[in-house]
Amino acid sequence: MNLEHVQTYLAVLQTGSFRAAARRLDISQPTVTLHIKKLEDSLGQTLIIRERGGCLPAPGSESFVRHAQGIVRLAERARLSLRQPQLTIGAAGNLGIYLLQPYFRSFADRQGQAARLEMVIDRNDRIVDRLESGEVDVATLEWWDDRDGYVAKVWREEPAIVIVSPEHRWAGRSSIRPADLVGEPLIGGEPCTGTGRMLRHHLGDIASRLQITCNLGSTEAVKSAVRAGLGISVVLKAAVEDELAARHLVGVPLNGVSLAKQLYVIRPSGLPGDSLAAKFAQHLAH
């Protein structure tokens, strides 16, 4: 694929028209049309449809938009790296929001002006995709599938906790049995998530009988839903420390089970030990 053609394609989608894309890119409208045609011909698929409201991704090409954006970001990173060494750290949502910031700051302070650092926070699976595409150099993740070509180490084990609203019948209890979770509306914890994997590891067969109601996409949304009485959840304890202290949420221990999630730091194999990715992984380990 021609990078210039990909950039033109994204400009058409972002502006909504071939004419507006031409103005943004400072090229002629026929050139925009030619770029799109060549890109579609090279891929053997229509990528854009024109409707009254503007240009939209063709049916079946929606995921291509995300990959195209990644290609452009990666090209920009490559260009900037010639001016100054840079490190992009990918972080699964909870890690980037609640745990990683002090380590990012201390590593950035250590590097000073010698390197440019940035952090990307997203869902675990999307960070894995970005790591594989080269958009991030090193990643901190809630789960890892042991694919080839990477060095993966457990960074830390982080405690997790069952949370309920202050009005829930469990709020006054000192603990509950793991079996009590069965039949209780559980927000989050799908099998493919880090929480789901943790629950299977600690609860065994009980995990397969949990009543998972929905996935709200963020821990903040989960906390609000639990507080509103829509269900219970299992989250990293670090993500709810303020709410537990203020009694906006209540943590309930499980009898005989200490929930904890293994958190990973991943980088491509084959990198020299003095690379920024390797240094950051070592920084976390220490």
Both 272 and 194 in one domain: the answer is no
Q: Assess contact for 140 and 264: CB atoms under 8 A.
A: yes
The pLDDT value recorded for residue 53 is 86
For the chain, what is the radius of gyration of the CA atoms?
Answer: 23
Terminal Cα-to-Cα distance of the chain (whole angstroms): 42
The pLDDT value recorded for residue 78 is 76
How many structural domains are present in the chain?
3
The pLDDT value recorded for residue 217 is 76
How does pLDDT run across 166-212, given as a tens digit for each residue? 999 999 999 999 999 999 999 988 877 888 889 999 999 999 999 99
Both 45 and 107 in one domain: the answer is no
Both 8 and 142 in one domain: the answer is no
Both 240 and 112 in one domain: the answer is no
Q: What angle do CA 17, 22, 24 make, to 5 degrees?
A: 95
Both 22 and 93 in one domain: the answer is no
Both 248 and 168 in one domain: the answer is yes
Both 39 and 79 in one domain: the answer is no
What CA–CA distance (Å, rounded) separates 11 from 43? 18
CATH number reported for the structural domain that contains residue 197 in this entry: 3.40.190.10
The pLDDT value recorded for residue 192 is 78
Both 200 and 253 in one domain: the answer is yes
CATH number reported for the structural domain that contains residue 34 in this entry: 1.10.10.10
Q: What angle do CA 158, 138, 124 make, to 5 degrees?
A: 55
Q: Which portions of the chain are predicted below pLDDT 70?
A: 81, 84
Using a cut of 0.75, tell me whether the model's pTM lies above it: no
Range of the domain at 211: 158-261
Both 163 and 253 in one domain: the answer is yes
Both 53 and 90 in one domain: the answer is no
Both 231 and 275 in one domain: the answer is no
Domain boundary among 14, 31, 62: 62
The pLDDT value recorded for residue 52 is 85
Both 55 and 188 in one domain: the answer is no
